[in-house]
C-alpha cells in the first residue's frame, strides 16, 4: 500500500513530505476539512451535484411548475417574469444589432451574406414577428411566381431543333425554383422565386430536405407550447400579459383559477387601484377569461364566426391566433351591448389580445352558482323564469343578439337574480343559423324550467315565438324547424341578391315584452 495515500488524510498535521518536492507547489485544496467518510458518502455527492445544478440552471425548473401569480409568491414569480422579459428584450436587441451588422457588411453589394443563422430568436419561436408580420394579411403575395411551363405528357415541347424535353436543364431549374413556393411560408427562400433562377435538382433536393426538417421542428416547438397551455393553464405569453396587468395596477392580485373549460380558462382577481385606459373604475373583484390558444377546440366553432357578417371580411385573412383574439373581442362587444340594454351580465373591464377582464359575479372569490347547481324554492324559480324570458326578449330585440349557448350552465344566480355569461359565440338573429341557435336556446330554457316545476313555463315553440316575435304555427318540432330553416334561407337569398342583410325578420309586430 502506498503510504502517501494514508498521509494525505486530513488532520495529518503539516503537509506530507512529497508536497515540498512537488514542482508545482502544494495543491491548495489540501486543507479541505472533511473526513474520508464524508468524501465517500453518497449523500454528500448528491448534495454537491444538486448545488452545482442549481447554480447552472437557476429557477428553470421552477418555471414549468411555478404556481400562478398570487399574493404569496409574488416575489419569485415577478423576478421570474422580469428575467423572462429581460431575456426577451436582450435577444431582440441582439438580433437588431445583428441586422445592423449584416446590413453594414453587405452594403450595396449585389451578393449578400445572410446572418440569419446567428439570430437568437428562431424564426418559428418568435411570437412578436408573428404578430407584426402576418403573411396571410398581404393581399398581393410577392412570393407568388409565374406558373412554370407545363410539359405535356408526351414529354417534350417544340419542334425540330427547338425541341425541349422535361429533362432540359433550364426548364427543370426554373421548375425547381417555382416549387420552392410549396415550402412553409416561414421558410426563407430569399427572392429567388422572383428571379429567373435555375436550381439544379441536387440543390433543390437539399433545400427541400432542409425545409421539411425545419417545418417538423417548428411543429414540434409549437406542440410543446400548446401542451404547456393545456396543462399549466397559461402559456408564457399569457403570463406576461397578465403580469403586466398586475404591474400596471389594473389588477391587484390574481388569486386562482375558477374554471378550465375546453375553450377558455377563467381566473379570479382583485381589481387594482388605477383606472382603465378609458377612465373606468375597476371593480373590486374581476374575472379573467383567457381564451385558449389551443386551436383544435375552436375548429367546430367556425360556423358561428365565419357566417357572422360582422366578422365576415376579416375571417378569411386571419391566422389562427388572430381568430382566437376575435372570440375575445366578440365576447366583449356582446357584453357591452347587453350592458347597454340593462341585462344583468359581467361588465367589461379591459380586453388585451385573447384575454378579457370583466367584473366578477360572486363574492369573496366565490363565484355565483350556475342555475343548474343552485336549489331554488318554487317562488324564486318562477321569478327566475320570467326574468330569463324577459332577458331573452331584450337580448333579441334591443341587443339584436341570440345567445346561442343559453342553458342552465351559462346562467348564474347572484343577488336574487339571473346573470347571463359566456356570450363569445352569440350571433345576430340574421346569422345564417341564428334562428336555429335561438330555437336550441329556447328548448334548453323551456326544458329546464318545466322540469324545475314552473307551470307557467312556455314550451320551446311558444318561447321561440315570444322571443322572436315570429308567428310560426307548426304543431310539431320537425315542421317548426323546417319553417325556421326556410326563413333562414329566404334571408340568405336576400343577402345574396341585395348584397346586404335584412335588418330584422319581418314579423306580425313586436313581441310583447314580458315583465314579472
Ligand atoms: P366557457 O366557454 O369555458 O364555458 P364561461 O364564460 O362560461 O366559459 O366561463 C366558465 C365558468 O367560469 C362559468 O361557468 C362560471 O362559473 C365562471 N365565470 C365566468 N365568468 C365569470 C364571471 N364574470 N364571474 C364569475 N364567474 C365567472
Ligand atoms: Mn360556459
Tell me the backbone φ, ψ of residue 359, rounded to 5 degrees.
-70, 150
Residue 147, pLDDT score: 43
Nearest ligand to the C-alpha of residue 423? 1
Give the C-alpha distances (Å, rounded to integers) separating 89 from 94, 219, 245, 320, 323. 9, 25, 19, 25, 27
Grid coordinates representing 300 are 367546430
Helix and strand element counts for the chain (H, E):
17, 11
Q: How far apart are CA 503 and CA 399, in angstroms?
A: 13
* Domain 232-367 CATH (choose: 3.30.200.20, 3.30.70.100, 3.40.50.720, 3.40.50.150): 3.30.200.20
74-106 vs 236-247: helix axis angle to the nearest 10? Answer: 110
Nearest CA to ligand 1 atom 11: 259
Task: Find where cell 412553409 sits.
Answer: 184
Nearest CA to ligand 1 atom 19: 266
With contact defined as beta carbons under 8 Å apart, do 291 and 355 qualify? yes
Please give the distance of CA 373 from its chain centroid, rounded to a whole number. Answer: 29
DSSP element (H, E) containing 440: helix 434-451
Give the C-alpha distances (Å, rounded to integers) separating 405 from 188, 308, 408, 498. 44, 16, 10, 30
Q: How far apart are CA 338 and CA 320, in angstroms?
A: 27
434-451 vs 378-397: helix axis angle to the nearest 10? Answer: 170
pLDDT in 10s for each residue of the chain, 516 residues = 444 444 444 444 444 455 545 556 555 544 444 455 554 555 655 665 666 555 554 443 333 333 344 434 444 455 666 666 676 677 778 888 888 888 888 888 877 777 776 766 544 444 443 343 232 332 333 333 344 445 556 656 666 666 656 566 776 667 766 676 666 555 555 555 556 667 777 777 777 777 777 766 666 655 554 444 344 568 889 999 999 999 999 999 999 999 998 889 999 999 998 776 777 899 999 999 999 875 554 555 665 666 666 666 565 566 778 888 999 999 999 999 999 999 999 999 999 999 999 999 999 999 999 999 999 999 999 999 999 999 999 999 999 999 999 999 999 999 999 999 999 999 999 999 999 999 999 999 999 999 999 999 999 999 999 999 999 999 999 999 999 999 999 988 888 887 665 545 655 445 455 554
Q: How far apart are CA 441 and CA 185, in angstroms?
A: 42
Ligand 1 atom nearest 410 alpha carbon? 7
With contact defined as beta carbons under 8 Å apart, do 188 and 123 qualify? yes
Ligand 2 (single-atom ion) residues, CB below 5 Å: 410, 422
Q: How far apart are CA 269 and CA 288, in angstroms?
A: 7
CA of 391 to the centre of ligand 2 (A): 17
* Domain definitions of the chain by residue range: 144-228, 232-367, 369-501
Active site members: 405
Nearest CA to ligand 1 atom 26: 367
Residue 323, pLDDT score: 85
**What DSSP string describes 396-438?**
HHTS--B-SS-STTSEEEETTEEEE---TT-B-TTSTTHHHHH
Q: How far apart are CA 190 and CA 104, in angstroms?
A: 19
For the chain, the straight-line distance linking the first and the last C-alpha, in angstroms and rounded, comes to: 102
Grid coordinates representing 199 are 436550381
Residue 218, pLDDT score: 65
DSSP tag of 255: E
Nearest CA to ligand 1 atom 18: 266
Region of residue 58 (left: phi > 0; alpha: psi -120 to 50; beta: else)? beta
Nearest by Cα to 375 from 403, 408, 344: 408
Pocket perturbation via mutation, ligand 1, pick of 256, 258, 360 by most ligand atoms within 8 A of CB: 258
For CA atoms 117, 123, 128, 130, the dihedral sign is positive
Q: How far apart are CA 206 and CA 216, in angstroms?
A: 16
Q: Say which CATH class 369-501 falls into.
A: mainly alpha
For CA atoms 355, 360, 365, 368, the dihedral sign is negative
Residues flanking ligand 1, CB < 6 Å: 258-259, 261, 263-264, 266, 287, 289, 346, 358, 360-362, 367, 370, 410, 421-422
Kindly give, in sequence order, each residue whose CB lies less than 8 Å from that of residue 298, ignoring residues fewer than 6 positions away: 263, 320, 323, 324, 327
CA of 425 to the centre of ligand 1 (A): 13
CA of 261 to the centre of ligand 2 (A): 8
CA of 343 to the centre of ligand 2 (A): 17
Amino acid at each position: 500500500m502506498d503510504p502517501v495515500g494514508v498521509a494525505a488524510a486530513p488532520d495529518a498535521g503539516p503537509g506530507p513530505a512529497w508536497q515540498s518536492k512537488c514542482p508545482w507547489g502544494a495543491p491548495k485544496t489540501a486543507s479541505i476539512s472533511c473526513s474520508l467518510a464524508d468524501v465517500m458518502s453518497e449523500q454528500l455527492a448528491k448534495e454537491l451535484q444538486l448545488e452545482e445544478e442549481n447554480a447552472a440552471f437557476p429557477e428553470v425548473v421552477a418555471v414549468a411548475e411555478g404556481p400562478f401569480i398570487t399574493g404569496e409568491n409574488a416575489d419569485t414569480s415577478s423576478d421570474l417574469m422580469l428575467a423572462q422579459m429581460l431575456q426577451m428584450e436582450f435577444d431582440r436587441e441582439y438580433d437588431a444589432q445583428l441586422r445592423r451588422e449584416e446590413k453594414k457588411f453587405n452594403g450595396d453589394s449585389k451578393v449578400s451574406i445572410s446572418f440569419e443563422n446567428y439570430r437568437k430568436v428562431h424564426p418559428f419561436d418568435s411570437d412578436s414577428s408573428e404578430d407584426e408580420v402576418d403573411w396571410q394579411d398581404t393581399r398581393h403575395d410577392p412570393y407568388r411566381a409565374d406558373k412554370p411551363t407545363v410539359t405535356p405528357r408526351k414529354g417534350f415541347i417544340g419542334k425540330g431543333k427547338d425541341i425541349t424535353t422535361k429533362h432540359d436543364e433550364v426548364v427543370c431549374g426554373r421548375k425547381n425554383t417555382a416549387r420552392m413556393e410549396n415550402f412553409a411560408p416561414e421558410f426563407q427562400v430569399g427572392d429567388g422565386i422572383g428571379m429567373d433562377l435555375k436550381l439544379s435538382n441536387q440543390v433543390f433536393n437539399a433545400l427541400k430536405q432542409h425545409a421539411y426538417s425545419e417545418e417538423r421542428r417548428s411543429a414540434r416547438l409549437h406542440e410543446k407550447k400548446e401542451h404547456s397551455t393545456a396543462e399549466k393553464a397559461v402559456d408564457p405569453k399569457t403570463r406576461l400579459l397578465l403580469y403586466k396587468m398586475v404591474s400596471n395596477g389594473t389588477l391587484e392580485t390574481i388569486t386562482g383559477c375558477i374554471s378550465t373549460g375546453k375553450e377558455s380558462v377563467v381566473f379570479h382577481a382583485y381589481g387594482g387601484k388605477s383606472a382603465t385606459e378609458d377612465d373606468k373604475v375597476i371593480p373590486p373583484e374581476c374575472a379573467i377569461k383567457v381564451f385558449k390558444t389551443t386551436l383544435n377546440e375552436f375548429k367546430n366553432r367556425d360556423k358561428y364566426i365565419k357566417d357572422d357578417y360582422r366578422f365576415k371580411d376579416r375571417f378569411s385573412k386571419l391566422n389562427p391566433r388572430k381568430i382566437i383574439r376575435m372570440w375575445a373581442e366578440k365576447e366583449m362587444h356582446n357584453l357591452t351591448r347587453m350592458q347597454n340594454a340593462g341585462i344583468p351580465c359581467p361588465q367589461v373591464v379591459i380586453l388585451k389580445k385573447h384575454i378579457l377582464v370583466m367584473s366578477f359575479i360572486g363574492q369573496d372569490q366565490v363565484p355565483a352558482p350556475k342555475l343548474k347547481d343552485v336549489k331554488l324554492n318554487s317562488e324564486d324559480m318562477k321569478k327566475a323564469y320570467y326574468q330569463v324570458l324577459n332577458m331573452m326578449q331584450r337580448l333579441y330585440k334591443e341587443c339584436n343578439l341570440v345567445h346561442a349557448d343559453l342553458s342552465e350552465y351559462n346562467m348564474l344566480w347572484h343577488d336574487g337574480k339571473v346573470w347571463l355569461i359566456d356570450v363569445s359565440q352569440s350571433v345576430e338573429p340574421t346569422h345564417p343559423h341564428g334562428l336555429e341557435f335561438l330555437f336550441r336556446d329556447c328548448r334548453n330554457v323551456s326544458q329546464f324550467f318545466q322540469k324545475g316545476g314552473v307551470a307557467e313555463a312556455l314550451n320551446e315553440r311558444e318561447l321561440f315565438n315570444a322571443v322572436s316575435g315570429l308567428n310560426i304555427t307548426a304543431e310539431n318540432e320537425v315542421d317548426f324547424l323546417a319553417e325556421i330553416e326556410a326563413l333562414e334561407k329566404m334571408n340568405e337569398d336576400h343577402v345574396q341578391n341585395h348584397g346586404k342583410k335584412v335588418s330584422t325578420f319581418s314579423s306580425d309586430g313586436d313581441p310583447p315584452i314580458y315583465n314579472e
